[in-house]
Every structure is written in structure tokens, then in C-alpha cells.
Amino acid sequence: MPANLTPEYLEAEQRFKRAKTTVEKIESLEEMFATIPKHKGTEKMQADIKRRLAKLRNEQSKRPTSRAGLIYKVDKEGAGQLALVGPPNSGKSALLRRLTHATPEVADYPFTTRAPQPGMMAFEDIQFQLVDLPPVHPEIHESWVYQIVRNADAALLVVDLGDPDLLEDFETTLAELAKAKVHLGRGAMPEGPGWLAKRALLVANKCELSGAAESREILQDLYGSCFEMVAVSAETGEGLDALRRAVFGLLDLVRVYTKAPGHKLEPTPPYVLRRGSRLIDLAAMVHHDFVAQLKYARVWGHGKFEGQMVNRDYVLADKDIVELHR
């Protein structure tokens, strides 16, 4: 569908290109958004204008000071810790309630969450710790929130597909994180000291709503190169199994089971290691004596001979069964 841009829009676009200051750029973009024809053919252009507006407005914003004396820390549990990050009312608390046994307060008004709320999410035979946080927003700045995000193994960036200001709120969240020098997702990290890159999964919540498919498509077009995205519904449960598996893949883990020589495999929790870990890394987790005394191991797993003999430099694969010999 042709865009059929108006003369007023084209004039505002030229002013934007000539603009030197942030204020001038914002005024031009606002005029472009006001005069652009609103139809299917301009949806992506409208989304791009709103995204650029959000970035510029956040350059102007100043952070409120944090409430003195409030500092929180959440000790890690399970196979990995993931911070739930997002704008107000994106559904982070509802997701935590749906995925774990935690019972955070869930309400329709913003800024309901004021303290970190952890919960354990099961995936097959392991668990991940999710930590719900106050919204990342200029109106509520808590320095401890950004420290928890920095300390977590990864972030779940939760957005509301039904939010009419979805892109602006999304850019505001990214801008606030950037002020704390936290870079989420793929792509080049900004230059300068103090920056921290953090793995992140984009969780597009409320996929059951009317119009959610179109919002998801726009998100994919604009941010697909930076984030893997999973569409879910905390209300209906749609997509939650895919989310659990995506979290496992995001953290790049393998599960390894051990058995004593001459015995059958007992149903015990697996050892969880980073992908690329070697047999000697597993031996160190089982018992420190194995590091020096390990001679070899036998491995049962996908694509291997039953009980195949391997040395200490063998790279472990997910769901390997290992029999250590010393």
C-alpha cells in the first residue's frame, strides 16, 4: 500500500534533517507523526517515528534520586538467575506468578512492584530463578534495581503487546538501562568504561490481545537483529513452554548425569555446566579429588557408542551420562 505522504509531512521531514538540536528534532518528529497518514501502509513508518522520539526524549530526561537507605540483594539459586525487566504494567509480576510458586501483587496500575520478588521456574529436571523488579522507568529510579540486573545471568525484557505506546515505552526502558551502562541483547556495545553486556530475551507478553500479532511483527522488524523474541500470555499460558526452553538456550547450558561404575543410573538431579565445558570441569564439581586422580570416563549420550571411553578434555553435551574412573 502506498504511503501517500502529505506535503506537511514532507516539510516536517526536511526540518528534521536540518535540525541541529534535540529540541528541534523532537518538534520535527512530533509534526511528522501528527501529519503522517494513518493507515496500513505507514504503520512501520509511524513505529519508527515513535521509536526515534522516545530516544530523543530520554536524552533530555533527568533521573529522580533513589529513595535513601533501600538496598536489596537476591542470592542466586538454581541453574541460573534471570531479572525480569520492563516498563510499567508490562505483566512481569503476572508472568512470575504464572511461571513460579511466587505470589507477587498483580494490579492494573503502574509501579505495583516496589521490592525484588524471586521465584523458581521449572524446566524439565532443573530450575531457574526469576526475579521480578520494579519497572525500569524515569519516574522510579532505584539504583539497586540496576545492580540486580548487572548481577543476574541474563535478563527477560518483558513488553506489553497491547500497549499503544509500546515502542516508546520499550525505548525508554533501554535508555534507562543505558544510563546505568547496561547493554542488553546482541549488537555492538557502546564505547567507554563501565559498560556491561547482558544476555537478554525479548518476552512479548499479552499475545492473546487483539492486534498483538501486528505489534509483534513490528517488534520483530525493528529489534529482531538484537533480541530473540518469544510471544507469551501470562493470562492464558500460551507460549510459556517455549519461553522455558528459550531461557535454557539463552544461558547456553548442558545437563550432565553421573553414575558409579558398575551401577545403574540413579534418578538424581543433573550437574549443570556452561556449554563447552570439559570432562575435567565436571570432575571438579563432583569431588576435588577427581581433578588429580581422574584417569578416564565412559559416556552414554546421543550420537555416541554405549559406554564410549573419553579423556579429561572431552567436551560435554546436554544429557550426557558420565561414569568417572580414577
Neighbours of 250 (CB within 10 A): 20
Model confidence pLDDT, tens digit, residues 247-300: 999 999 999 999 888 888 787 889 999 999 999 999 999 887 778 888 889 998
- Domain match, 227 and 150 both: yes
Neighbours of 255 (CB within 10 A): 20
Domain with 316 in it: 253-325
Supply the angle between the helices 240-251 and 92-99 in degrees, to the nearest 10: 90
Last residue within a domain, chosen from 251, 266, 290? 251
- Domain match, 211 and 108 both: yes
Which is more confident, 90 or 54? 90
**Does residue 1 lie within any of the structural domains?**
no
**Does residue 76 lie within any of the structural domains?**
no
Last residue within a domain, chosen from 195, 221, 251? 251
Residue 139 confidence (pLDDT): 77
Average pLDDT, whole number, for the chain? 88
**Does residue 277 lie within any of the structural domains?**
yes
- Domain match, 16 and 154 both: no
Model confidence pLDDT, tens digit, residues 198-246: 999 999 999 999 999 999 999 999 999 999 999 999 999 999 999 999 9
- Domain match, 192 and 281 both: no
Closest CA to 98 of 242, 236, 287, 190: 236
pLDDT at position 63 over 70: no
DSSP-H helix ranges across the chain: 7-18, 22-35, 43-60, 92-99, 143-151, 166-179, 212-223, 240-251, 279-286, 288-293
Predicted TM-score (pTM) of this structure: 0.77
Q: Residue 205 maps to which CATH number?
A: 3.40.50.300
- Domain match, 163 and 308 both: no
- Domain match, 235 and 152 both: yes
Going by pLDDT thresholds of 50, 70 and 90, the confidence category of residue 113 is low
How many structural domains comprise the chain?
A: 3
DSSP character at residue 152: S
Model confidence pLDDT, tens digit, residues 169-178: 999 999 999 9
Q: Residue 316 maps to which CATH number?
A: 3.10.20.30
- The amino acid that residue 29 corresponds to is L
Going by pLDDT thresholds of 50, 70 and 90, the confidence category of residue 111 is low
Neighbours of 295 (CB within 10 A): 10
